[in-house]
Copies of this chain bind each other. A is one copy, B any other.
């Protein structure tokens, strides 16, 4: 392809809103342009890399037997009402009304569409397992789209959905997907960190995220310095940094009231009592939404209303309150809490609710003597035998509080937020933190969609069953941007060969006379051995062409100039390496083919 015959509007300026390298470079290299906030058009150069990523993903999906289909992007709102996500998804769901007033959704994800399609076709266990996928446009009305295509409103996702008779079959496909994802990222030249992820809130039973490290990542990851443990902070566990006593400490004095006037924070309280936050039981009142956990034995005088099971889902408590107790120096992990309660969401209760339920202003809640709502404790609390906690009255705390003696929680769970410096739950090594962006996610969904949407099949015994499901996503736009984040320098992009828009750029110093003839001839020879060439035939100064070549990041640059050509030589340089070398023009096709196919082979291995 001649530069003059394509459309690559390179720029020297950096757009004001481009704060990360991939956004800056994709814009400057003429790969993308902005249509509106969060809406980007791929221009020819950008689309070439995008299509290569798409093709790698398609090949790896087909290789594990996933079948490509193409549902619509716009789907009926009815399907989202059946799954319950019409209400649950919130403002990020782009809704429209058709001319008859019917509700439509511009798909942000497609559990409903795939589940509905399979529902209509499934009759027998013999049809399972079945894994279907699409590579298609999605829209999510992000509050603050930014970082270019890394977090756009419209994007393309590969999303796969699998259907199974049992957990074993689901696990097989889940593991295959994990391997396919690792191959996809390797082939794209992307270094990913697979991390354990939360799955509880979505009702699943297994979940792995593939993260790329990024200073602007919206996920915090905890990794072990000594083993390969890695988890999203939402999910991360840690080794206990305490010991739970085998029996209550009989030497602890009885609970006593302590007046704590004008003391507001835990820090102030610690200073006032000359103690440390680790001796404190922090108690937070949470409001949980759509709780599926059975609360009939939870206790508490304030009984939450139970909505009975219906076609659209199991029995839930639309609203329930809980007191969550945790050691004073730790933070409650709300994702873990929601998972423990099987709740759609948990939020801190309002001040008014706290006062109504504890009888005291915010800041004086505690598990001792709390009778209105169930108490849930983090495991750390079980080790506290002589602690301080709120006394359910203004300016009053209890001292010498002992777990098991003075209060017994309804549930004890791992609810703490792990953090850098904590100990690895697997090997005890030190955990450290990284920021990451999610590149892909594989997820055991269970029957979260299949049950409310009424998907059934007959098993071998002729019994009606609901299949279990998995879902598996990769964002294509984010993959392209992440490759650039990982592979660039100050001058521009340094493409891995597999996803480079072109493999070789031919750069004649002046596209004229013998140089032009040589450039045309070498272009033709290289194209005849299947190498993708961009020939910079522009009448620009050499400096402009060199800069654009570095900016676009095409792996091999072949410079053709009068002086070298007189010796039948051309200059070859690998983008990202400092040195160029002279190559016999006659041997160029053979040498470059070896280099290009060698790099392809290495990445695709």
Contact = CB atoms under 8 A, between A and B. Distances in A.
Interface of A: 5-7, 9, 33, 35-36, 39-44, 47, 50, 65, 67-76, 78-79, 91-92, 94-96, 98-99, 104, 106, 113, 116-117, 120-121, 130, 132, 136-137, 139, 141, 143, 153-154
B69 A44 contact: yes
A145 B419 CA distance: 56
Contacts of A139: 73-74
B35 A116 contact: yes
Given A69-B47, A74-B139, A154-B72, A91 B95 contact: no
B39 A76 contact: yes
A488 B104 CA distance: 35
Given A44-B68, A69-B44, A143-B99, A39 B94 contact: no
B132 A7 contact: yes
Given A35-B75, A35-B117, A70 B99 contact: no
10 contacts: A35-B76, A35-B117, A36-B78, A42-B69, A50-B70, A73-B73, A95-B96, A96-B106, A98-B141, A106-B106
Contacts of A70: 41-42, 47, 50
Nearest to A126: B4
A69 B6 CA distance: 11
A35 B67 contact: no
Contacts of A72: 35, 39-41, 137, 154
Contact of A121 (B9, B40, B99, B116): B9
A6 B73 CA distance: 23
A69 B106 CA distance: 22
A440 B98 CA distance: 26
B141 A99 contact: yes
Contacts of A79: 35
Nearest to A155: B72
Contacts of A73: 73, 137, 139, 154
A39 B106 CA distance: 13
B74 A113 contact: no
A113 to B, nearest CB: 6
Contacts of A5: 65
Contacts of A120: 33
B41 A113 contact: yes
A41 B67 contact: no
A444 B5 CA distance: 22
Given A33-B120, A33-B121, A39-B74, 8 more contacts: A35-B75, A40-B72, A42-B70, A44-B69, A92-B99, A99-B141, A99-B143, A106-B106
Contact of A7 (B6, B92, B130, B143): B130
Contacts of A91: 99
Contacts of A94: 74, 96, 98, 104
A74 B106 contact: yes
Contact of A67 (B6, B36, B76, B99): B6
Chain B CB within 10 Å — which of A76, A94, A143 has the most?
A: A94
Contacts of A153: 74, 98
A11 to B, nearest CB: 10
Contacts of A137: 72-73, 136-137
A599 B319 CA distance: 67
A113 B68 contact: no
B74 A154 contact: yes
Contacts of A99: 91-92, 141, 143
A143 B98 CA distance: 10
A33 B33 CA distance: 36
A151 to B, nearest CB: 14
A239 to B, nearest CB: 42
Contact of A43 (B39, B42, B69): B69
Given A69-B42, A98-B141, A117 B33 contact: yes
B76 A36 contact: yes
A41 B71 contact: yes
A40 B69 CA distance: 11
A106 B167 CA distance: 40
Contacts of A71: 35, 41-42
Nearest to A42: B70
A545 to B, nearest CB: 17
A68 B221 CA distance: 39
A69 B9 CA distance: 13
A42 B132 CA distance: 12
A69 B31 CA distance: 10
A149 to B, nearest CB: 11
Q: Which 8 A-B pairs have the closest CB atoms?
A: A41-B71, A96-B96, A36-B76, A42-B70, A91-B99, A72-B154, A39-B72, A44-B67
A36 B98 CA distance: 12
A127 to B, nearest CB: 8
Contacts of A44: 67-69
A15 to B, nearest CB: 12
A42 to B, nearest CB: 4
A544 B379 CA distance: 62
Contacts of A47: 68-70
A604 B44 CA distance: 26
Contacts of A116: 35
Contact of A69 (B39, B41, B143): B41
